Amino acid sequence: MSTQVELGMPATSGQVLLADPRGYCAGVDRAVITVEKALDLYGAPVYVRKQIVHNKHVVNDLAARGAIFVEELDEVPPGATVVFSAHGVSPAVHAQAAERSLKTIDATCPLVTKVHHEARRFAQEDYRILLIGHAGHEEVEGTAGEAPEHITLVEHPDDVAALEFPEGTRLSWLSQTTLSVDETMETVRRLREKFPQLEDPPSDDICYATQNRQVAVKEIAKDADLVIVVGSANSSNSVRLVEVALEAGAKASYRIDDISEIDDAWLEGVSTVGVTSGASVPDDLVQEVLVYLGERGIGNAKAIRTADESLIFALPPELRRDIKAASQA
């Protein structure tokens, strides 16, 4: 782990605008701690279906401690302990786990669970649910699995024009929690324009952390020659941050997993660099970027705070129960 960079370090030729908030959100923190606590409590191996969060460094660190990541439950020995990732799973996955007598710990982010509840409620009331999200993303697969016969996937605002439903169809919309706020609202605008009867979910599905990180990156991007987003390629919210930075005025923006992916050519002629990270990124990776930039003459780090985050989610109830029982044994 790199040395913590102090904000306000003397600059030689450039400045860093450091987005705040950035990095871990409450749902990611809960999911990672869930795997750590499960390893401590039950011992290795603990199986995890899919990546617990979309960050290869986090996954590699947990694997080194004894977590075994699998794509599907048929890779997990009967009776073993398995953790479901923060992105959520469908009822079919829960059923398969029961069939294999697996001990399950559900680390689904509570904000994703909320969307699952909304999908079930709308389906019970016989709505056609327009799910805004990316095909193949684990979160979308989990949500769609709650009511597959009721869900139509909408990936992009331009997809709206081709949608047709019988007259009198009750319509509602839900969304993946990690999308671009602006693009999602544009999709909703077009849906509502075409289908005036469209009903909203009780609250916006895009999670607070995704929104906060997009607001923060907009603030730094407008004054930045370059914005560096730390996050893995399969992290939807990290990829969105690059898009948002460019739309907000950054002259250039790139996503990196870590400093090994920085191209020094990006820094040529650059005086102000914005730095942020996706919601599944540990902050030591950001600190390494700050050190890297400081060594190249861009060392005056200024935090740009746009929101305070204090939300904490309790660990999954099944894990809390076992921790309590172990402490009383």
94 is in an annotated binding site: no
300 is in an annotated binding site: no
CA angle 305, 2, 209 (to 5 degrees): 30
139 belongs to the catalytic site: yes
Q: Which has the closest alpha carbon to 138: 80, 177, 81?
A: 177
271 is in an annotated binding site: no
327 is in an annotated binding site: no
134 is in an annotated binding site: no
Catalytic option among 139, 141, 219, 288: 139
122 burial type by CB count under 10 A (0-12 exposed, 13-18 middle, 19+ buried)? buried
177 is in an annotated binding site: yes
Q: Which has the closest alpha carbon to 275: 223, 310, 210, 206?
A: 223
CA distances 95 to 100, 120, 247, Å, are: 9, 17, 43
Q: 139-164 b/e with 16+ CB inside 10 Å = b?
A: bbbbbbbbbeebbebbeebebbeeee
Tokens read off for 28: 């990611």
Cα(30)–Cα(107) distance, integer angstroms: 7
238 is in an annotated binding site: no
Could you say which DSSP state residue 8 is in?
T
Cα(105)–Cα(111) distance, integer angstroms: 17
Cα(87)–Cα(136) distance, integer angstroms: 12
Cα(314)–Cα(72) distance, integer angstroms: 26
57 is in an annotated binding site: no
237 is in an annotated binding site: yes
Instruction: Tell me the helix, strand and coil percentages in the chain, rounded to 5.
Output: 45, 20, 40
54 is in an annotated binding site: yes
Q: Which has the closest alpha carbon to 198: 220, 227, 160, 172?
A: 172
156 is in an annotated binding site: no
Sheet holding 81-84, edge to edge: 67-70, 46-49, 81-84, 103-106
Cα(183)–Cα(178) distance, integer angstroms: 11
Annotated binding site: 25, 54, 87, 109, 137, 177, 207, 235-237, 280
Annotated binding site for dimethylallyl diphosphate: 54, 87, 137, 235-237, 280
Annotated binding site for isopentenyl diphosphate: 54, 87, 137, 235-237, 280
Residues with catalytic function: 139
